[in-house]
Amino acid sequence: MTAARLPAKGAAPVVTLSRTPTADRLAEVLRDPRLALGLGTGVAHLPALADVETATRELTTALASRPTAQEVRKVVGTLALSYPQQAKPEAPEVYVAALESEAAGYPLDVLKVGARAVLRSCRFLPTVAELVEACEAEMRERSAILRNAEYLAREIAERQERQREEERREAERAALRQRQEADIRARWGDLVPSWFTIRHAERGVMRAGHPALRIEGRAAEGDGPTLVMLRRGALFGLALELHEVTPTKPRHLRDADLDEIAELLVNGRDAEAAAIVEAALETPRACSDEPKPVSWARIAERVLWSLEYQATRATAEKEGLPELPHDPKAKIEF
């Protein structure tokens, strides 16, 4: 594989890598892997690991290759014949032999780039040192590309491994959520709304600023206040999801709707808050612009109050839900 010389600092990227997939994109990244790695922590935006590994092997092979004697003589001959006759050295045989001896130590494409560089910069027949200097500059640039390729390959492999590990953990969390939801529904039956999920409960509780929750079977065993807290957290988490705008979904709840839901929850009017969310689920509609701004801090604060033990206990008592002995120092965490 060959690589064109690196552009001057700040110049537009004009680089090609022959016999390498996605050549232009890969060449730009190999010149400075931070161009790719700086875009995020995932791997979707990075070149394929197989492409980088192929480039690394090709660069390694190219840097280790050496030209044949015939190829050296051709390059050196072209170089010598490119200058006027009066510029020839007194001992041309010695001069050509010295050039060939040094030129044989570089890959053929590096030698060609070096020869082209001295032809464009030397007004007189170049010395052996000038040709060596040009070839060494090209070797340094290509060695830097190789180091970048090796570094990028390691980084991509590590990120892929981290991503696989995160996917494995998320699969375990999803399985745990399913078991928890099944336990809760088996214990409480119709008291658990159809829209209830642990995922929404996690999001709603964390967005409200409540200490991390951990169910650990408490709701399934008969803890009414915990059920109320999870139900309210799930309602707020689902409301947040309906409030989001994505490329495939418009906003179905306004800021004012979230404000009203928070007000209803903090006053123990859970059924009315659920009705707002259920209406948005049943008949999704794109929301218009907000008539006036609302305070997100105030929304979160009121939801947080509704999740506190005294508030959930009061609702549980009103609904006749049983209560387990409460330890005020214990944290409930997912």
Q: With helix as H, strand as E and coil as C, how does 288-317 read?
A: CCCCCCCCHHHHHHHHHHHHCHHHHHHHHH
Q: Give residue-wise pLDDT tens across range 107-130.
A: 998 899 999 999 999 888 889 999
pLDDT at 211 over 70: no
φ/ψ (deg, to 5) at 47? -60, 160
Contact 209, 304 (CB under 8 A): yes
* Per-residue pLDDT at 13 exceeds 70: no
pLDDT bin (cut points 50, 70, 90) of residue 95 is confident
Question: Are the CB atoms for 264 and 270 separated by under 8 Å?
Answer: yes
- 309: buried, middle or exposed (CB in 10 Å: 19+, 13-18, 0-12)? middle
pTM confidence score: 0.58
At residue 233 the predicted structure's pLDDT band, cuts being 50, 70 and 90, is very high
3-state secondary structure of 20: coil
SS3 138: helix
The answer to whether residues 46 and 37 touch, using CB atoms and an 8 Å cutoff, is yes
Q: Within 10 Å of residue 81's Cβ, how many Cβ atoms? A: 9
Question: Is the predicted pLDDT of residue 238 greater than 90, yes or no?
Answer: yes
Task: Tell which wins on pLDDT, 68 or 14.
Answer: 68
157 closest CA partner among 312, 50, 23, 31: 50
Q: What is the DSSP letter of 100?
A: H
Q: Is the dihedral of CA 42, 45, 50, 52 positive or negative?
A: negative
Name, of 52-56, 70-74, 282-286, the range with top average pLDDT.
70-74
**Residue 242 CB coordination number (10 Å):** 20
Mean pLDDT, all residues of the chain? 80
What average pLDDT does range 33-40 have in this prediction? 60
CB 265 within 8 A of CB 314: no
Work out the end-to-end distance of the chain between its first and last CA atoms, rounded to an integer number of angstroms. 52
> Is the pLDDT at 77 greater than 80, yes or no?
yes
For residue 10, pLDDT over 60 is answered with: no
pLDDT the model gives residue 171:
94
Long-range contacts at 285-292 (CB < 8 A, ≥ 24 apart):
285/252, 286/250, 286/251, 286/252, 287/250, 287/251, 287/252, 287/253, 287/254, 287/257, 288/254, 290/254, 290/255, 290/256, 291/256, 292/256
Does position 325 have pLDDT exceeding 80, yes or no?
A: no
**pLDDT band for position 22 (cuts 50, 70, 90):** very low
Asked whether the predicted pLDDT for residue 291 surpasses 80, the reply is no
Distance, CA of 199 to CA of 180 (rounded, Å): 11
Strands in the chain per DSSP E: none
**Residue 310, number of CB atoms within 10 A of its CB:** 9
Most confident of 52-66, 117-131, 282-296: 117-131
Q: What is the pLDDT of residues 154-170, one digit of tens each?
A: 888 888 899 899 999 99
Residue 134's contacts (CB-CB under 8 Å, 6 or more residues apart) are 113, 114, 115, 117, 118, 121
- The label of the residue with tokens 């999001």 reads 203
The shares of helix, strand and coil residues in the chain, as percent rounded to the nearest 5, are: 65, 0, 35
